[in-house]
Amino acid sequence: MKLSRRTMLQQGTGLVGAALLSGPAGAAGRASTKTSAPPRHRLGVSTYSYWHFEGQKYPIDKVIDHAARLGFDGVEILHVQLPDESSATLNGYKRQALANSLDLISLTIHQDFVSPDPAERQKNIDHTKHCIDLAYELGTPAIRLNSGRWKTIKSFDDLMKAGGKEPVLPGYTEDDGFKWCIDSIQECIPAAEKAGIVLAMENHWGLSATVEGVMRIVSGVNSPWFGLTLDIGNLMGDPYPQIEKLAQHAVLVHFKTYFGGGVWYTHEIDYKRVAGILRKANYNGYVDLEMEGKEDAETAVPKSLEVMRKAFA
């Protein structure tokens, strides 16, 4: 019998927090879902919601304070938003989260496995392993990965205009890119398993810009320590059939809002429909806000939380 990625994750991630995973394995010790009410989706907020790579970095401790005051359940931390990687800083966030009854959900990292240069790929593998260690110290049960891209479109703005897709590097094929990506992730799996950290690749851009590309990587890596960060705003075209295909492999969901208009684009999303798809897929894990609008986060994040609450009521 061929196991789905969700089944493999349920069977192989005993060390991971139950709120992150879905289904019976992630809900050990609780009543069966056949006899109890559907679980309440826990709602988180990414520090990215307060800082979109422009201007001074928004302090992570302030995001944690805001999350607690507004009533979120957890916080996802953007690695590049860290002021430093010292134990004092990481432990401070962990202590602050505990004091506010918040989970630290995931550490979002940026790496790229698509390069013909073995040394460049190894640099990104080493960076990923380093971030696994940081996630372990923070106490986050997952890190968000990228697949990587060809970088034949230099401007990110132009990449967004192209729907995240770009030409293959001359002299190479798509098969090369997928092999580099899959092999690199597989090299990181032992470190992830040892630390109890799930590698949660996002349907982002580059090789993971399409459902077909994402599923090719999922099948190629084939590990219970690898799953998806399902981003409902990174899907071009009709998103709902795509969300249905990816939801069974998700260990984290990114919930996008665009108050004030999107930084790169604005998607009209039927959030209640998305919530229904996730319920049908038996996704019981975290739904994590990435507010990507131009409105100030101080007002847009509370509005976004109300949207999330209504969608999953």
> Which tens digit of pLDDT belongs to each residue from 226-283?
999 999 999 989 999 999 999 999 999 999 999 999 988 899 999 999 999 999 999 9
- Residue pair 288/74 in contact by the 8 Å Cβ criterion: yes
Give, rounded to a whole angstrom, the gap between the first and last alpha carbons of the chain: 36
Give the total number of structural domains in the chain: 1
SS3 for 30-98 is: CCCCCCCCCCCCCEEEEHHHHCCCCCCCCCHHHHHHHHHHHCCCEEEEEHHHCCCCCHHHHHHHHHHHH
User: Does residue 126 lie within any of the structural domains?
Assistant: yes
Q: Select from 208, 284, 217 the least CA-distant residue to 247.
A: 284
Residue 53: which region, alpha, beta or left (left: phi > 0; alpha: psi -120 to 50)? left
Question: Which tokens is 16 given?
Answer: 């991971």
Provide the pairing of β-strand 250-257 with 142-145.
unpaired
What are φ and ψ of residue 242, in 5° steps? -70, -40
User: Does residue 34 lie within any of the structural domains?
Assistant: no
User: Does residue 226 lie within any of the structural domains?
Assistant: yes
DSSP H helical segments within 106-154, as ranges? 118-138
Contact partners, residue 134, CB within 8 Å, separation at least 6: 79, 85, 90, 107
**CA gap 196, 273 in Å, rounded:** 33
User: Does residue 74 lie within any of the structural domains?
Assistant: yes
**CA gap 45, 91 in Å, rounded:** 19
- Compute the Cα dihedral for 40, 226, 272, 234 and give only its sign: positive
Three-state DSSP at 289 gives strand
- Identify the CATH number of the domain in which residue 199 sits: 3.20.20.150
Question: Which tokens is 48 given?
Answer: 């990215």
User: Does residue 32 lie within any of the structural domains?
Assistant: no
Q: Apex CA 293: angle with CA 97 and CA 302, to 5°?
A: 45
User: Does residue 33 lie within any of the structural domains?
Assistant: no
Range of the domain at 203: 5-25+40-311
User: Does residue 30 lie within any of the structural domains?
Assistant: no
User: Does residue 35 lie within any of the structural domains?
Assistant: no
Predicted confidence pLDDT, tens digits, the chain (313 residues): 444 444 444 444 333 344 454 433 333 333 333 445 555 789 999 999 999 999 999 999 999 999 999 999 999 999 999 999 999 999 999 999 999 999 999 999 999 999 999 999 999 999 999 999 999 999 999 999 999 999 999 888 888 888 778 999 999 999 999 999 999 999 999 999 999 999 999 999 899 999 999 999 999 999 999 999 999 999 989 999 999 999 999 999 999 999 999 988 899 999 999 999 999 999 999 999 999 999 999 999 999 999 999 999 9
Question: Which tokens is 31 given?
Answer: 């009543």
Q: How far is CA 194 from CA 5, 16, 225, in A?
A: 19, 12, 10
Count of C-beta atoms within a 10 Å radius of residue 71: 10
Helix (H) or strand (E) holding 200: strand 198-202
